[in-house]
Chain A
C-alpha cells in the first residue's frame, strides 16, 4: 500500500502520461458526513484493451507476452478495497481511461491524503506540455484549477517559468481548503 493517497494520484497520473495523455482530469472529494473519500481520474491517452484492463486489475492474470504493466492500478484498487471502498476502471482503446475509486474515511488502514497542494504543483510544473483539471471538494468547500485557463493568460510564457511557479505556489498557499 502507498503511504499517502497523493502517492496514488502521482502514480495513476504517471500511467496516463505514459499512455500519451495531454489532458488529465483529477477530482478528489472528501465528505465526512457520508464517511466517503472519492477519487476520479480521467485521461485522453491511448486507452486500454479488454485484455489490458484484466491484466492491470487482476494480479493473478497473466499473458504469455510478459509485457510490463505498472503496479499503480492494482495498488489503488487494493487500497480502495481494503479500506471499505470500491474501484472501477472503464476504458476502450483510443478513448482514454476513467478510474473511480472510493474509500471509507474512517477506515483505520486508510492512508492520509498527503500534501495535495504540492502534488498539484509538481504535476503542473513537471509536465508543462500536459493540461490538468483539478477539483478538490472537502465537506462542501470546493477548489478547482484548470491549467488551460492559466496557459491562456500566460501565452508563450511557459508554465514552468520561475515567476509562474511562484504564482502557483502563492495561489495555492492562500486557499484555506488545503490547510
Chain B
C-alpha cells in the first residue's frame, strides 16, 4: 500500500455512487480525557473505527472529545442521532462497543444495560 493506491481509492469513490459519503445519520463521540484514556478509551475508539469501516457504514462518524466529567464511568460514549435523545453509555469496552454497533447503530435498538443517561 502506498499513496498511489490511495489515488486509486479516490478515483473509484468518485465514479462509484455506492462509495460516496452520505449525510451523517449517527455521530459517536468517545470521551478522551485523562481518565477515559487511562480506562481504555483508545481501544474503544479503535473498535468503533474498525467496525464502522468494516461494515462500510458511510453515514456514521466517530470522533473524540475531552473529559466527560464522570470519571467513575469511563470510558464513556455518546450517540447523537437526529430527532432522537442523546444516548450516553458508560464503562464501555471493546466487546460492548461491538454490541453497540450491532444493536444500536445498525439495528436501531439502544443496548439498555449499558445506558447511563438519555438526554
Chain A residues packing against B (C-beta within 8 Å): 2-3, 6-7, 10-11, 14, 17-18, 70-72, 75, 118-119, 121-122, 125-128, 149-150, 153-155, 157-158, 160-167, 169-171, 174
B101 within 8 A of A: no
A-B contact pairs, 14 of them (CB 8 A): A2-B37, A10-B32, A14-B32, A14-B66, A70-B33, A70-B67, A126-B63, A150-B3, A153-B3, A157-B21, A160-B61, A162-B55, A170-B1, A171-B2
Instruction: Give the chain B neighbours of A6 by CB distance below 8 A.
Output: 42
- Shortest Cβ distance from residue A152 to the other chain B in the assembled complex, whole angstroms: 9
B103 within 8 A of A: no
B49 touches A161 (CB 8 A): no
Instruction: Give the chain B neighbours of A169 by CB distance below 8 A.
Output: 50, 53
- Taken residue by residue from 26 to 39, chain B's Cβ proximity to chain A (1 for < 8 Å, 0 otherwise) reads as 00001011100110
Instruction: Give the chain A neighbours of B84 by CB distance below 8 A.
Output: none
- Shortest Cβ distance from residue A75 to the other chain B in the assembled complex, whole angstroms: 7
Instruction: Give the chain A neighbours of B46 by CB distance below 8 A.
Output: 118, 121-122
Whether A122 contacts B7 in the complex (CB less than 8 A), given A2-B37, A6-B42, comes out as: no
Whether A7 contacts B1 in the complex (CB less than 8 A), given A126-B62, A160-B61, comes out as: no
- The residue that A122 contacts in the complex, of B6, B10, B45, with Cβ under 8 A, is B45
Having A70-B66, A127-B64, A154-B10, one finds 8 other A-B pairs with CB under 8 Å, namely A7-B37, A10-B42, A14-B37, A17-B66, A122-B46, A154-B6, A157-B13, A167-B1
A149 touches B34 (CB 8 A): no
B63 touches A127 (CB 8 A): yes
List residues of B (54-83) whose CB comes within 8 Å of A's CBs. 54-58, 61-64, 66-67
A162 touches B57 (CB 8 A): yes
A125 touches B62 (CB 8 A): yes
Chain B residues packing against A (C-beta within 8 Å): 1-3, 5-7, 9-10, 12-13, 19, 21, 30, 32-34, 37-38, 41-43, 45-46, 49-50, 52-58, 61-64, 66-67
Instruction: Give the chain B neighbours of A75 by CB distance below 8 A.
Output: 34
- The residue that B13 contacts in the complex, of A119, A126, A163, with Cβ under 8 A, is A163
Cα distance, A2 to B38, chains bound together (Å): 6
Closest to B52 in A: A162
Cα distance, A163 to B8, chains bound together (Å): 11
Closest to B16 in A: A163
A3 touches B38 (CB 8 A): yes
- Shortest Cβ distance from residue A111 to the other chain B in the assembled complex, whole angstroms: 12
Instruction: Give the chain B neighbours of A167 by CB distance below 8 A.
Output: 1, 5-6, 9
Q: Which 4 pairs from chain A and chain B are nearest by CB?
A: A162-B53, A165-B53, A126-B64, A171-B1
